[in-house]
Amino acid sequence: MDLLRAVIIGPQGTPYHDGLFFFDAQFTASYPATPPVVYYHSGGLRLNPNLYDCGTVCLSLLGTWHGNGCENWNSAHSTMLQVLISIQGLVLNEKPYFNEPGYETEVNDANGPRRSLEYNDTAFQHSCRTMLYSLRRPPQHFEDLVAGHFRERGHAILNACKYYMEGNEVGSVVPDEGKELENANAEGSSNSNAVKPKKCAGAGRRTASFKADTKVLFEELLVEFNVKGADTKKFCAEKSKKPHQ
């Protein structure tokens, strides 16, 4: 096999949750002595420090970034599966801001966490734009997968958009998806283990730009999810009531 196309579903708890991220891998004549050449379908968006808008995947395992020891490609042990798992677990992570070289020193800095949250806001919006790109121009032979995925996850994605627009942290558990919070609210429980909303630090700061831009993306996603047959009744009903309020 000389060419491979793979899709990674964005992990829960990250700004990439429920997104579809497509990668093409080319296995040259020197493979497996050298790593495959991997191209990311960016749609022209830079949503992660390791995923360039030109399609480059910056990863030591691929030889596109310097690494030490087991971080580098090993012709005897490294595999394409390892590459995909690394992208899903190490690149599409909870705090991608700190993936940027040198930024890891800001983890305990006064401004580091704030900048990380701001980066997550932008990453989520770019992830939504990537969803729209995939919905409107699905990669060849992946049309059914794209339609099926967003038909199943459309409701959760729209719910997350609304939740984040209310000032909650991107990537935090959305009540409609968190059964613990749902049960706790229903029972009036004060259980300290129940999932609680995580308000974004500086929520007032993000209101003007983040909320407005996310609302536009929400409306566009709602249209596309409707076409794919996702469960959007709740959101369509809310939209139809607004002019009468």
HSE at residue 234, side-chain half, CA atoms within 13 A, is 10
3-state secondary structure of 91: helix
CB distance 141 to 30 below 8 Å = no
Residue 168 is given by DSSP the state B
Non-local CB neighbours of 191 within 8 Å, separated by 6+ positions: 184
Catalytic pick among 54, 58, 70, 236: 58
Q: State whether the Cα torsion 22-96-94-212 is positive or negative.
A: negative
Catalytic site includes residue 200: no
Neighbour-count burial of 140, counting CB atoms closer than 10 A to its CB (0-12 exposed, 13-18 middle, 19+ buried)? exposed
Residues tagged active-site: 58
